[in-house]
Structure 1
């Protein structure tokens, strides 16, 4: 059985957990308390030398890390990852963008606000990341004009990757009120059969 090394509040870990639930794929969830340093132990670093979650451990003990790589692995051969060459490239486009322009800003601001507080020496960086987070939301809002999902007319792993931190952006102080297309898209993703919230183990 697949094992997911997970931290419940992590949007990155939630991506993998959510897709496996949507696929109705059985897995064992192993909680890793990142705030207590459990991802920095020698045992865990053998699974992911970067010391981050999520990690997906396959039946043979092989470990895969990086949330969007895990999404692609799990989605292979399913409608969640298009077979068409261009559509697949467009999915990858949004997965790369999510990790470069979206997650480093929205997720980091949320983590500081919700979990550890904003360090005084990082106040300027916090404001910069908050502004970049709003910019990322604006990019998403613009792209969703006339589109139900990010690639084509069906939900893909691109949507799951972007959903993970967008739907909890308010926990970082981001106001989704000015982004009606994003709010409608969030509702569409959450309406999928098998959907489970981030708080569900």
Structure 2
């Protein structure tokens, strides 16, 4: 028996194929749009977290300067530490693993310069304790390390390719290495000055 196709079937089949193809395109397009939307949301949230942490750290850096120059009192400085801690608790979960130490490192740098007032969140009684005696090396260390952290937050705000930041101890080791190289001639003294390298201190105050 010879099969004779119905002329009306061809357009119907073509319509079905076309509808399936269009549906597939819409589904794929919808998935891409949702994926892009999620990526955009993550970008917004990352930048919001970077901005909030950066702002709190900038304020803390400014208050460190005030403390060193006798323009603020321990309880006021402790309040800014708590503002930083609050920002950290809210936004740190968005930081990469290599930056999860940032809060500890910032407080380590500041405590070497200003004393136990930095630990006001965990030890509230320290909020009223006097600042540590001024030490130019440790105050410079705190200033430069906090600037380094602020620079990293700025970069992470714009592009999250930098997944790690040095801990304060790692930064101190790098500083000491640079200073030694400057002294033995394998690095230039100008390089040491540009990198704000200070002579290494034989003993940390909080050790």
Query: Would you say same fold, with TM above 0.5?
Result: no
- Which one has the largest radius of gyration? 2
Give the TM-score normalised by structure 2.
0.28
Larger strand percent: 1
TM-score computed with the length of structure 1 as normaliser: 0.29
The structure with the greater share of residues assigned to helix is: 2
Higher relative contact order (CA 8 A, sep 6+): 1
